[in-house]
Amino acid sequence: MRRHARFLVVCALPLLGAMQLAGCSLASDPGSVTRTYYIAADDVTWDYVPGSVDQISGLPYTDTAYYRSVKPRPVSTRYVKTLYREYADSSFTTLKPRPPEWEHLGFLGPVIRGVVGDTIRVVFRNNGTHPYSVHPHGVFYRKDSEGAPYVDGTQGPDRADDGVPPGGTHTYTWLVPERAGPGPMDGSSIIWMYHSHVDEIRDVNSGLLGPLIVTARGKARRDGSPVDVDRELVTAFVQVHEEESWSAADNLPRDAESAGIPNPHQLQNIYPWFVQFSINGYTHGALPLRALTVRKGQRVRWYVFASTNDFDGHSPHWHGNTVLVNQMRTDVINLPTMGMLVADMVPDDIGTWLYHCHISLHLAAGMQARYAVVP
């Protein structure tokens, strides 16, 4: 009942269903649209270092010890992950091709967009083997579209979003009111994220997270991108704990001791062996350089976020060029666990440049990429 009262305040109209709700709360904005995404959770094999070449050193990949005292670990860079993937329609038979400008997203889910005033619909199919959800940050959701199970006094349809069972489908409906868009200190667009939140730690370490970009009303192109930005890039500094993944039993060595690998279930053994310090699921420079190539003088907007684990706070650093964050100039930003930031760059320095986490242990463990500025 409280839910209804809340919406009456928003809409001053009776509750008539999600679409009508969106319509009534946005009736004053004739330009607003409903953006629908078909997203599945799929089990796929992911390689943190495709090609087995360390692109930072230029040498064959042998892994970098997390601590210098630890020997290179004889474990694979290939893991079964559960990832959000975008499909063409509700049949979930055809993957929607990822355009070249978003190749750099790596293992992240697709970009979900909204402009202030819009409604976002995510038709979610769970092709995995555990219950999963889509929990968004920032946007306005009712209890049937939050994607997190906990004791909140709800029941029936309001719990269908909590955890979509394997083989199940649920439609999440999110509104994009003013408070989901850029604030007074923000530019024309901001970054939120979405992730599965049934077993938050295991779901996210399995790979279920992605970006959600909201653009201010009146500052968006038809596709929702900000009019004053030439190139958008999303980079997530994700410290993946493979021992916390739902696929850990398949991914990690079954007979660790005989393989000379410490027991992955003992805490002191986890860091040097089973944590992947990635940017969008790539380590040791494996994020394709072509995918992070921008032009001199372009207005480049970097959306940056971090993941969920202990000490999953990072210090992204750009070599070669500087950025503006909340109108302040820097080249290192402070990203807390699950933090989200926007950094605007107008590159003036042509070349291939390092882009890495400046926390020394993360840097040593491969949380590095390169970006290029071309004429």
Residues interacting with Cu ion, by CB under 5 A? 314, 357, 359, 362
Nearer to Cu ion, 362 or 370 (CB): 362
Nearer to Cu ion, 125 or 314 (CB): 314
Query: From CA 98, how far away is CA 102, in angstroms rounded?
Result: 6
In the complex, least distance from residue 200 CB atom to Cu ion, rounded to whole angstroms:
20
> CB of 316: closest distance to Cu ion in angstroms?
8
* Contact predicate 317/344, CB 8 Å: no
219 vs 362, which CB is nearer to Cu ion?
362
Which token pair is 113?
């967009």
Supply the minimum distance, in Å, between the C-beta of residue 32 and Cu ion.
38
Nearer to Cu ion, 169 or 315 (CB): 315
Tokens 């892994």 belong to 63
Q: Name the minimum Å distance from CB 356 to Cu ion.
A: 9
The residue (of 2 and 68) whose beta carbon lies closer to Cu ion is: 68
Segment holding 361, helix H or strand E = helix 360-364
Least distance to Cu ion, CB of residue 359, Å: 4
Helices (H) and strands (E) in the chain, counts: 6, 21
Cβ closest to Cu ion, residue 279 vs residue 373: 279
Give least dist CB 10 to Cu ion, A: 39
Phi/psi at 269 (nearest 5 deg)? -100, -10
The closest of 237, 216, 239 to 226, measured between CA atoms, is 216
How far is the C-alpha of 284 from the C-alpha of 303, rounded, in Å?
A: 21
CA 51, CA 73: separation in Å to the nearest integer?
Answer: 18
Instruction: Please give the DSSP secondary-structure letter assigned to residue 155.
Output: -
